[in-house]
A and B are shown apart, each in its own frame.
Chain A
């Protein structure tokens, strides 16, 4: 009966689906696109309509445009289904008109396409709307049509759902044939063991049990119903089932358990934000609190429920709230408030459900008038109440009103009814009440009724009958007491069973939690291990790269050092000449210089950014240029400087001086013979630059790449470029920008450094 997650989505639109299927569909959704996605979205929206109406609406909104390109047959059905999703959302927020319109629109589409399942679902929804509005004729008509559609479609599940709804309605309407007509069928549905059938069929069983006053057996059924509704995502049913559990425990005089369930129901309702569910929850909570001797809290609940339900035009649940409101007013002796409540109830119920509340209105008003000392008017309303109860076949209501009439005649001087001449009006009405009670199979006449009869017999001097009735009252009291004790014991047992089941499920949940935590801890440990492994790999890689660079550098160093050393060896192996010593000295110096430069690079790369201090740029440039001035003169080149003293930059003195020297050295080396090298400064708000230009042939690309650190080959191609490698390293550790422009007419190198601020060290 349940859809298969792998099945085609168009076939998946069963009335309800369990959590596993919804989860499977949600899992399938992400990679889908186009029409396949749209249909999956429709399915999900349909099954999330009560689980998460907001998400369902969002999915519906996403699906709608995707269906624009689908074939009309596919799109039409899917869009109609989305209308049903929206209709249900409207119903839940008590927008009955909109809900009805959407349901009707969907129904029209489904009917046009001969989609029996869709028609059935639209009609079931229409029935629910009518039910919330208390329009039972419309509800029953919709259900009858729904059954026809389900039968026409050969849809066994939907037929069963419609039958369950019809069965429940028969039970709720006191249909005397309900038991014979439906009981066996509902038991069969439950025996099938499908969650949704457990939910709907138990509605009937519970209603019948309540009618019989068998609240004890109803409790396990209600629990089954609760669990099954949870699995099927029937959230509204879960709320009402919890409320019914509260009612059952209340009837068994276990008010503590009753309060727990009523509270649970109300909590669930509040979480959904559905006004009808919240209002109904509050109405059901109020009498439970009243029985717990909490009249103020009960009244507060009732007031709140009226506040929630009153603005919902046409909402049926407003009427029981008004009825309770009148009852509570009577209980606290506030006749005026009771009259107001009953007047409002009469007005509101006048349209569709007059007969259902007519008895409440008349008996309530009669009691209020009696309180006000208006006996005659009270009697008239009581007689109307009696007529209504008789018309509706409500026997217990008849007993109630007859007892009240007896009390009324006892208290006020009223004209007795014609038939009561012999015994007097009170005994006449009480006798009628006892007659009615005798009609009810298994009914125990309440002790207070018998006490009342005894009192009346005593009043008219019939002491023998008075005694007999008093004894019957004592026996009834005992019987009632015995029944109350039994009820209480049953309730306690049921509660213990429930608690044991809850404890077991809690234990299982904790076990699952522990398992989950252990899995999480394992996962976390695994993830830590992976992170550590990644870090280790990263470090190894870094180490390997550094090692490779070191080896490269060492190889290069060895190669370049070899040249002057080989030359020294050659010079020394020659026949000693006058200039040999001079030459070897020069070569040794070259090797030494080169070694120093390597050491410089190694040292520079370790300089911290934080160690930079404020330095006068012009002073540093001046120092660097001074080193080369004599050489420039000796080589016949011009080294011009244009410096601006007093501009501070952030840096390491030694490193910057070294970099500046290398740039000037390089420029002199590659400028034309007799050419010129210019050393300038440029200053902006944030930066200051050293600019070195020469008039040589232009820096080769490889050298530029080395300077800009853009080359892939990190090894300086020639020892002459070691200086540029140092400049690049210095620029890096200073977060400096290097700009190089080179052409056949010369090279311009700019080294832009961050300027020091007033707060710099």
Chain B
């Protein structure tokens, strides 16, 4: 009994970290540009299909594929930011919500168009291997995903904390107008943030590829999880996304085991509604951030 609980908790943390990486991209874009990207999950889907294609045509391992997929998704993010996000920054809320929703619809159905609705999966060098210790066993793929996700989040944190551009991003997040008065090129920062957020989604997609099959609507499930995490952790907060991701990973795993796998979605939706009810700013959110978008 004890080992099962420990096993569940650790698997939850491992998976939660990948969810956290998806959410970090979302929360970064929100924090800096005040744009909620409803298509974020579909970005992960695009990255997963990219990793799949690299594997199918050139036999590149999904983990090696990160070095192609992540820069690719960065450029993809820049292009999307130029065409779709630029006009909706500061536009009415309805435009922000539905423009990204429309983008998600387009991406999902493009994937359906090219790949069909089949589930596709990729085998990596670590597929099927498990790591055993003290009566516990974990797939190596989720350990790798955990480690890479942790590294990426730490790197992102250091970038935001110490680099000049990172500081500029935080300045824009705090006050757009003041930042522009300090001669920060706000629109450039917006582009860069969107690119970085998309690259996070790209890395998360590459890490998820050996763990779950890819299909056109995989993003919907992921974006809902990411939103729950971001709201739980607090909009715009990097550490919030991390803690939120782990909490959701735990809830998902434990509820799937104890109540049934149908119910795990209900479990995190209820957590989501409760957080909104009790503490709408989330665990680490800045006070008033839930009012953004007025």
Whether chain B is bound by chain A comes out as no
Binding site for B on A (CB under 8 A): none
